[in-house]
Amino acid sequence: MPDTTVRAADGGNFSAYLATPESGKGPGVGVIQEIFGVNPWIRSVADRWAAAGYVAMAPDLFWRIKPGIQLTDKGADFQTAIGLMQKMDQGKAIEDIQATIDALRKNPACTGKVGAVGYCLGGRLAYMTAARTNADAAVGYYGVGIDNIIGEAGNIKKPLLLHVAEKDGFVPPPVQAKMKEGLAGNSHVTMLTYAGQDHAFARDGGDHFDKAAADLANGRTADFFKRNLA
C-alpha cells in the first residue's frame, strides 16, 4: 500500500501509510503509532484493518522531529525511540491526528465515520483523541501516562475502549486504580484489564506478545468498531 500526504493544521505536510479494503469502501480508522514510528508492524496493523473492510491511515507523528522514522523495539532502536517520544509535542500530535481524521473523512473510499486505535504511546494519544478530537470512536492499547491527564475524561463524548495489561511495568497497579476511579463516571468509556499480561501483549513478535490475549483484545476492538463506525 502507498503512503499518502496529509496537510497539517498549522502548515506543512506529513506522510501517512494508507491501506484500503478490497471492496474500495469502508469506515475510516486512524492507526496511532507506538514510540517506534510508522514501522512495518504499524503498517501491518493498518493492513489488517483494511482486510477487515476499513480505510486505514497511520500518520507519521514524529515528522516534526524527523520524518520517516521506522524503528524496532530492540537494542539501540529502543533508546532512540524513547528520545523521540520525549521530544514529541503531544498537543501537536493530536492536531495531526485530527488532520488525519479529516483526511480520512474526505477520502472518497471512506463511508463517513472515522475511529482511531493506538498502542503504547498511541494508547495515550487514543485517550487524548477521544477527549480532544471529533473521532467517532477510539481504542487505546496499554496507554502510558493516562493517569496524568485523567481530568480530561469529562471531555469524552464518544465511545472509548481501553485495553489495560494487569502486569504492565509502565502502568503499575496504583496507576491503574487511579485510571479506573477517574473514568468511572463516564459511561462512554470502557476499561478492560487483561490478567497476567505485560505491556505490548498485542504486538506480534514482541517480548511480551501473548496470542490469546491479543486475539481477545483485537476481537473486542473489532466488535467495538463494528458497533460504533458501521
Which of 1-10, 14-23, 34-43 has the least mean pLDDT?
Answer: 1-10
- Half-sphere exposure at residue 210, Cβ-oriented, CA atoms within 13 angstroms: 15
- Whether 94 and 133 have beta carbons less than 8 Å apart is answered as yes
Predicted model pTM = 0.97
Please check the confidence at residue 136 and state whether its pLDDT lies above 90.
yes
Output the average pLDDT for the chain: 97
The predicted structure's pLDDT at residue 2: 77
CA distance 152 to 124: 12
Does 47 qualify as catalytic in the annotation?
no
CATH number of 3-229: 3.40.50.1820
pLDDT of residue 14: 98
Catalytic residue, from 96, 163, 199, 210: name it.
Answer: 199
Lookup: cell for 127:
485517550
The Cα–Cα gap between 137 and 148 comes to 21
The pLDDT of 148-176, averaged and rounded, is 97
Average pLDDT over residues 12-22: 97
Catalytic residue list contains 168: yes
Q: Return the half-sphere exposure (C-beta side, CA atoms, 13 A cut-off) of residue 80.
A: 14
So what's the pLDDT on residue 1?
61
Options 168, 198, 208, 210, the catalytic residue: 168
Q: Hey, is 79 helix, strand or coil?
A: helix
**Overall average pLDDT of the 18-25 stretch:** 96
Residue 59, by phi and psi: left (phi above 0), alpha (psi -120 to 50) or beta?
beta
pLDDT in tens, 46-63: 999 999 999 999 999 999
Residue of 87, 135, 143 lying closest to 115 (CA atoms): 135
Best CA proximity match to 127, nearest among 103, 93, 102, 99: 93
Average pLDDT, stretch 150-179? 97
Instruction: Tell me what percent of the residues of the chain surpass a pLDDT of 70.
Output: 100
The letter for the amino acid at 198 is D
85-132 confidence digits (pLDDT tens):
999 999 999 999 999 999 999 999 999 899 999 999 999 999 999 999
C-alpha cell at 125: 494519544
**pLDDT of the residue at 36:** 98
- 199-223: pLDDT as tens digits: 999 999 999 999 999 999 999 999 9
Mean pLDDT throughout 138-147? 98
Joined together, the cell numbers standing for residue 95 give: 492536531
